[in-house]
Chains A and B, each alone.
Chain A
Amino acid sequence: MKRSLPVVVVVVLCGVLLTGADALQLARERAYPPAEVDDSALYLTSGRTLRRLTVSLNALAADVYWIRTLQYYGGAKRRLAGLAGVPEPPPLLAAASDYDQLYPLLDITTSLDPRFSVAYRFGAVFLAEAYPSGQGRPDLALRLLEKGIREQPDKWEYMEDAGFVHYWFEHNYSEAARWFERASEVPGAPNWLKPLAATTVAQGGDRRSSRVMWQAILESSTEEWLRKSAEHRLLQLRALDDLDALQRGVDSYVRQNGSDGLGWPALVRARVFPGLPVDPTGVPYELTPDARVQLSPRSPLLPLPTEPAKAVGTVS
């Protein structure tokens, strides 16, 4: 006896049943919200042990850990970005922070696959970036890069990255120049590294040398993420220049007219500025009641880099 229901009936029936099941699931999740997935626990912290355990599958295991690292970093970054205002950085020696598993995850990834170039390079950025965009731990970024250099002593990119970390996050320009110099001596290194080392020694920390550095990276890098990072940094440098120029205009206006009724419309009417000034991403700058020009909290350029040698060279 062989009778079969028509396909349409089966499809509709299944659709109804699945919708019913999902409706119940939704109702249950609303009534009893499921706990957040907690990925902060790291059960095996020794990359060497994991390397033994994963035997011939260690490269695959490294990929899995790398994906987990990205999820961990991305999740923490998004969570922090969703918080009102920028949270205070955690104390350096705090037992736990939003990124406290980042270095162990990167360490395991690179122990499982010691030639995992992206893990060293991306990882160094994640670690070095100022909190809350990153962990704000350039020391850990340098440790990771030095591990990579031990594995591949001819990888000039890691040395270049170490130079950037010293330059941008530690503001240690002599050390940065030393790393750029070291990178330039590796066969196959790009020819702009040597002049960059010289510029860093001569004018370390000023906007002009920063601009030279990021412009060189933008033009020479084959890595999409590094080019994007360079573009972002160049926009930030432009914003810093803008802020200085705008502040000069505002200060001059206030000296002549006082600060009563101060605002962008008044400044535009007085022809101090041709129109509402916007930052390089198109977000209007803000003018505070005490006549300070600053980026809008909505600006994707925040946080701006600190300027350790502001007096040395402001380019406008």
Chain B
Amino acid sequence: MKAIGDIAINAFRESVRDKVLYNLVLFAVLMMGASYLIGQLTAGQDVKIIKDLGLAATTIFGLFIAVFIGIGLVSKEVERRSIYSLLSKPIHRYHLIVGKYLGLSLTLLVNVTIMTVALYAVLFYMQWGVDPIAQRAWDAPALDPRILQAIGLIFVELMLVTGIALFFSTFSTPLLSAALTFGLVIVGHFSSDLRDFQDVVESSVAQWIARGIYWVLPNLAQFDVKAQVVHGQTVPAPYIAMAVGYAALYVAMLLVIAGFVFSRRDFK
């Protein structure tokens, strides 16, 4: 376990060294600029728009980090030949995969946490000075704690995407891994179309195939509760628990396969 922890910490430090957290500056500028501009442009919906924008930016920034850092976790070690010194140490290759995964997850956690703080800060600024009577017209309070539900599920989705990127990076080139990961992310958000395939086709074979793909591919749409939260709807706790459980099991499966593939790779 200590080995996994050390690898995770090192992966996190490496991403900090690689200036991954610089994206936070961009996020902060975006949020501050948007809060000013949107305040001038929109009529009474500025808080909602800022929430939409903040949650969307958290997803997109996180997605780019998860994919582009995730695909390099293994390939960079191979490229720099540091893999040899790592593998000469008394660690199992599975440790390396799990450690790298946890390291990137930590990076994402730090990112998402800072973005959340920034979003709440901007929302506080938007709320500040607004008449409480005017605030009643909002779907949800500006500093609505339910935003954390959406952000929590975004983070869980990013952890799943990291698992996918890491899985592809164990056997593919970085470019192809990125393409495959993005492809799977897109498909994962449209998997409900596969579920409803039976409504538009007669062929039972096609229905079975679509159903099979639906159950095998990751279902990412379940993590998207942004719209509900922004409109002040509470996401039930059992829903979140089941979505988190799904992600945990799916990530575990990806790591098992990634570890298996990686353990069989020959670096000579």
Interface residues, chain A, with chain B CB atoms under 8 Å away:
1-5, 7, 10, 13-14, 17-18, 20-22, 24-25, 27-28, 31-32, 34, 36-37, 70-71, 74-75, 78-79
- The winner among B196, B239, B249, B263 for most chain A CB atoms within 10 A is B249
Q: Which residue of B lies closest to A7 (CB)?
A: B260
Tell me the chain B residues, 81-103 only, with Cβ under 8 Å from chain A. Answer: 87, 90-93
Whether A24 lies near B201 (C-beta < 8 A) is no
26 pairs, CB–CB < 8 Å, chain A vs chain B = A1-B93, A2-B263, A3-B263, A4-B260, A4-B264, A5-B263, A10-B256, A10-B260, A13-B256, A17-B249, A17-B250, A17-B252, A17-B253, A17-B256, A20-B249, A24-B242, A24-B245, A24-B249, A25-B215, A28-B239, A31-B239, A31-B242, A32-B236, A37-B192, A37-B193, A74-B201
CB distance from B241 to the nearest CB of A (A): 9
Whether A22 lies near B256 (C-beta < 8 A) is no
Residues of B within 8 A of A78 (CB): 199-200
- B58 adjacent to chain A (CB < 8 Å): no
Residues of A within 8 A of B238 (CB): 31
Whether A22 lies near B215 (C-beta < 8 A) is yes
Complex: A10 Cα to B201 Cα, angstroms: 35
Whether B200 lies near A71 (C-beta < 8 A) is yes
Known: A2-B263, A4-B263, A25-B222. A75 touches B252 (CB 8 A): no
Which residue of A14, A22, A24 contacts B257 across the interface (Cβ within 8 Å)?
Answer: A14
CB distance from B203 to the nearest CB of A (A): 12
Which residue of B93, B216, B243, B260 contacts A2 across the interface (Cβ within 8 Å)?
Answer: B93
Residues of A within 8 A of B87 (CB): 1-2
Residues of B within 8 A of A70 (CB): 200
Whether A28 lies near B200 (C-beta < 8 A) is no
Complex: A303 Cα to B70 Cα, angstroms: 58
CB distance from B223 to the nearest CB of A (A): 11
Whether A27 lies near B242 (C-beta < 8 A) is yes
- B27 adjacent to chain A (CB < 8 Å): no
- B177 adjacent to chain A (CB < 8 Å): no
Complex: A149 Cα to B62 Cα, angstroms: 51
CB distance from B145 to the nearest CB of A (A): 21
CB distance from B73 to the nearest CB of A (A): 19
Q: Binary interface profile of B, 168-212, with partner A (CB < 8 Å = 1, else 0)? A: 000000000000000000000000110110011100000000000
Whether A1 lies near B91 (C-beta < 8 A) is yes
Complex: A32 Cα to B233 Cα, angstroms: 14
CB distance from B85 to the nearest CB of A (A): 13
Tell me the chain B residues, 145-182 only, with Cβ under 8 Å from chain A. Answer: none
